[in-house]
Amino acid sequence: MLDIRDVSWSVPAARLLDGVTCSAPRGTLVGLLGPNGSGKTTLLRVVAGLIAPGSGTVTVAGDDVAGLPRATAARRIALLAQYAETDLDLTALDVVLLGRTPHRRSRWSDTDTDRAAAADALDRVDMTGYAHRRWQTLSGGERQRVQLARALAQEPQLLLLDEPTNHLDIGHQLQLLGLVRRSAVTTLAALHDLNLAAMFCDLVVVLHHGRVVTSGPPADVLTPALLADVYAVDADVTVHDGRPVITYRAPAA
Ligand SMILES: Nc1ncnc2c1ncn2[C@@H]1O[C@H](COP(=O)(O)OP(=O)(O)OP(=O)(O)O)[C@@H](O)[C@H]1O
C-alpha cells in the first residue's frame, strides 16, 4: 500500500536520508524506529509530500505522492506532526473539523457527514466531553488526542504519526496505539518507546544515520545486538505472547 523505494534527501551539509526502502502493507501498523536525529521526521515529511525526495519514489496505493495534486494528497494522507500547535482561538471540535477540509466542496460550511466524522473521531480518542473546550486550555496529552482525532476525521488511506505517544500517560499510550492498530488505516508511526513498538506494530523499520539498518516483525528485529549497535544500550530481550519485551540495563558508572 505504502512503498518507499530508494529515497534520498539532502541538505547542503548532509545527506539526511540515504537510499531508504521500506513498505507498509494495507491495514498494517509499521513502527519507524531509530535514535534522535536518525531521519524519522524527515522521512515522514517526504512520505506526506511536504518535501520532494531528492531521488527515489514514494507511492501510496500505486500513485507517486510527488505527482499527486495537493488536494488529492490531502484527502489520502494524514500527518500527525510531533509539535502540532495552533495560535488560533479554536475549540477542540474546530480543530477536529479541520481534518474534514480536504473533503469539503464548500470551504466554509460543515456538512452532517463532517460533523458525524468529527464526533466519531473525538469519541474514539475519548475526548467527547472536551469538544467545546478552547484549544489553549487543553493539556499536552489532551491536545495530542485531539490532533489524532483530527487525523482520523480526515479518513485517510495512510496515517503518518510522529511520536504520537508524546505527552500521554501510559493508559492513553496503550489506548492510542490499540486504537490505531484496530483501525483499518495503514499507518507509519515514528516511535521512541521500543516496548510499545514491540507490543503494537506489525512490522518495524529501524533508521540510523538516514539509512534503514533492518526491518521486519518486531521479534526478528528487536534483538540485544540491534539495541547495542543502533542505540548503544545494553538490554535483555524476552518474549511474552509472541512479542519481544525489552529490559534495559543501567550503563556502568
Ligand atoms: N533542514 C535541515 N537542515 C539541516 N539539518 C536538518 C534539517 N532537517 C533535519 N536536519 C537534521 O537531520 C537529522 C534528522 O532529523 P529528523 O528530525 O528527521 O530526525 P528524527 O529521527 O526525527 O529525530 P528525533 O527522534 O530527535 O525527533 C537531524 O540531525 C537534524 O538535525
Please count the other Cβ atoms lying within 10 Å of the Cβ belonging to residue 198. 24
Is 16 touching ligand 1 by the criterion CB < 6 Å?
yes
pLDDT tens for residues 175-188? 889 989 988 899 99
Q: Where are the domains of the chain?
A: 2-86+155-248
Best residue for ligand 1 mutational test, from 16, 44, 50, 207 (most atoms within 8 Å of Cβ): 16
Nearest CA to ligand 1 atom 18: 39
Q: Alpha helix (H) ranges present in 62-102?
A: 70-76, 92-98
**pTM, full prediction:** 0.91
Q: Relative to the CA of 42, which ligand 1 atom is closest?
A: 18
Angle of CA points 173, 176, 179, to nearest 5°: 145
Question: CATH assignment of 2-86+155-248?
Answer: 3.40.50.300
Sign of the Cα torsion 81, 85, 91, 97 reads negative
Q: Phi/psi zone of residue 163: left (φ > 0), alpha (ψ -120 to 50 degrees), beta?
A: left
Ligand 1 centroid to residue 201 C-alpha, Å: 23
pLDDT tens for residues 92-149? 999 999 888 877 766 667 888 888 999 999 999 889 999 999 999 998 888 888 999 9
Angle formed by the axes of helices 170-182 and 140-153, nearest 10°: 10
Residues of the chain with pLDDT under 70: 83-85, 105-108
Classify residue 210 as exposed, middle or buried by CB count within 10 Å of its CB (0-12, 13-18, 19+): buried
Q: Quick one: pLDDT at residue 232?
A: 93
Is 154 touching ligand 1 by the criterion CB < 6 Å?
no
Q: Quick one: pLDDT at residue 67?
A: 87
Q: Relative to the CA of 34, which ligand 1 atom is closest?
A: 21
Q: How many angstroms separate the CA atoms of 211 and 203, rounded? A: 17
Ligand 1 centroid to residue 152 C-alpha, Å: 26
Angle of CA points 195, 196, 197, to nearest 5°: 90
Nearest CA to ligand 1 atom 16: 39
Nearest CA to ligand 1 atom 25: 36
Q: Quick one: pLDDT at residue 112?
A: 84
Q: Relative to the CA of 38, which ligand 1 atom is closest?
A: 21
Ligand 1 centroid to residue 123 C-alpha, Å: 34
Ligand 1 centroid to residue 38 C-alpha, Å: 7
Q: How many Cα atoms sit within 13 Å of 79 on the Cβ side?
A: 18
Buried b (16+ CB within 10 A) or exposed e, 152-191: bbbbbbbbbbbbbbeebeeebbebbbebbbeeebbbbbbb
Q: Quick one: pLDDT at residue 123?
A: 93
Closest C-alpha to 23, from 44, 40, 43, 1: 1
Q: Quick one: pLDDT at residue 93?
A: 93
Single-letter residue type at 79: L
Q: How many angstroms separate the CA atoms of 189 and 199, rounded? A: 13
